[in-house]
Amino acid sequence: MQPLQPPPYLSFDATTRRLRLDPREPRFYQNPYEAYAWLHEQGSTFFWEQFGHWCFGGHDDVNRLLRDRRLGRQNPAGIPDSRGAGQDRSHLKSFDAIEAHSMLELEPPVHTRLRTLVNRAFVSRQVERLRPRVEALAHELIDGFPAGEAFDLLPAFATPLPITIIAEMLGVPVAMGPQLLDWSHDMVAMYTHGRTRETELAADRAAREFSDFLRGYVAERKKAPGDDLLSLLISAQENGQKLTEDELVSSAILLLNAGHEATVHQAGNAVRAILQQGGDPRRFFASADATAATVEECLRFDAPLHYFARYTYEDLEIAPGVTVKSGDQLGLLLGMANRDPAAFSDPGTFSPGRADQKNVSFGAGIHFCIGAPLARLELQAALGVLFDRLPNLALAGEPRFRDSWHFHGLERLMVTTGV
């Protein structure tokens, strides 16, 4: 087998293992897997100059480092941030206040307490009970598709489904969906490469408005609890301890943001991947087992999150020849790990039911995605209904990805129903 040629938009020094690759290069974010395949041949570990730290794309390395307790999400110097904690952040007070209590950005013992309380409320809803509601909502959305013309499946199906479900779970008005989406988009933009001052101001404004909105609902639920996730978060206890209001608001924002952001991208990526296989898509959903296997392969084949940052808590030789100091940041490339030829047979082939399925799309270790069961259920139920109802669904043009390599999702997904 001939070695792959390096993509023309990157440069790599094999001696120093330094990579120069602009993550905003369209040829890269439209198809990062070309670069990943070549980098796997170079050893999967490299110093990415645009990010200023070591990155790991091998499946075993990513899986190992996600679980390594000598690393964590909490920046020893302050709140995790792509610009570092040393610069003036006075214009980010509202955003930082949310992050300061987010379990995603904290480590034990605080993380353990928060996750235990949130997980207790989250799983008490018995996620599997939501399957009929997800299926019914999928049918409602499909009933509204235009007939005989191309339309964008993202706003028509992939976006409203998860935001409706998480809003209903939390007990906030579904009519607030568009506003929740706007706040979420503005906040997660903080984690993309090359953000601007305008991005930061928008994120801080969104954090302030989002927090104020939720505090109003928290006050209502304290007076009149209901059968919703917000009420359960308020009442959840562990050894006599409850969430503070700040922790509760941060947790609700995290659940709302994570509860739809990645699922929207994954739904779009999954439909694109399935339709590109050709033939009758119903073959991928012929049984519950086939549906589950198809969703797992969609998660591996084209994951919605490609980068997850970690900080080192001591000086380490993190890999052969790679030494890092305490406080250094590392990048774990989830999307690259899912296409590692050392871990998967024919990694570039879409193959549901593969024997070597072990994707890292939800992470691993103590920060494993708390919403993974809900995301899996939503994808299984929604995609199953979509292709059962519309087996002749077809792409209407080549889908294009957004200029956001980190959060890997489509700009639009134009389709026709064939009916």
Residues 125 and 146: their CA atoms lie apart, in Å, by 34
109: cis peptide before it, omega within 30°?
A: yes
How many structural domains is the chain composed of? 1
pLDDT of residue 257: 83
Q: Is residue 1 part of a domain?
A: no
Is the Cα torsion angle 325, 326, 329, 333 positive or negative in sign?
Answer: positive
Percent of the chain whose predicted confidence (pLDDT) is above 70: 96
* Residue-range definition of the domain harbouring residue 390: 11-416
Tell me the DSSP string of 355-401.
Answer: TT----TT--GGGS-TTHHHHHHHHHHHHHHHHHH-TT-EESS--EE
pLDDT attached to residue 189: 84
Is 275 within a domain? yes
Lowest mean pLDDT among 32-41, 42-51, 87-96, 382-391: 87-96
What is d(CA 110, CA 103) in angstroms, rounded to the nearest whole number? 8
Q: Domain for residue 3, yes or no?
A: no
Query: At what angle are helices 197-223 and 177-188 packed, to 10 degrees?
Result: 130
Look at residues 320, 359, 309 and name the one whose alpha carbon lies nearest to residue 339: 359
Contact of 332 with 56, CB cutoff 8 Å: yes
Instruction: Report how far residue 178's alpha carbon sits from residue 42's, in angstroms, rounded to the nearest whole number.
Output: 44
- pLDDT value of residue 85: 44
How far from 279 is each of 88, 296, 391, 392, CA to CA, in Å?
Answer: 55, 20, 9, 9
Q: Is 239 left (phi over 0), alpha (psi -120 to 50) or beta?
A: left
d(CA 102, CA 333): 22
Identify the pLDDT of residue 192: 77
Task: Confirm whether 52 is domain-assigned.
Answer: yes
**How far is 332 from 319, CA to CA, in rounded Å?**
13
CATH number at residue 300: 1.10.630.10
Give the residue, 29 or 84, on which the prediction is more confident: 29
**Least confident piece of the model among 191-195, 274-278, 319-323, 406-410:** 191-195
pLDDT digits (tens, 9 = 90+) for 112-159: 888 888 887 777 557 888 999 999 999 999 999 998 899 999 999 999
**Residue 6 forms part of a structural domain:** no
How many Å apart are CA 40 and CA 37, to the nearest integer?
Answer: 5
Q: What's the first-to-final CA gap in the chain, in angstroms?
A: 45
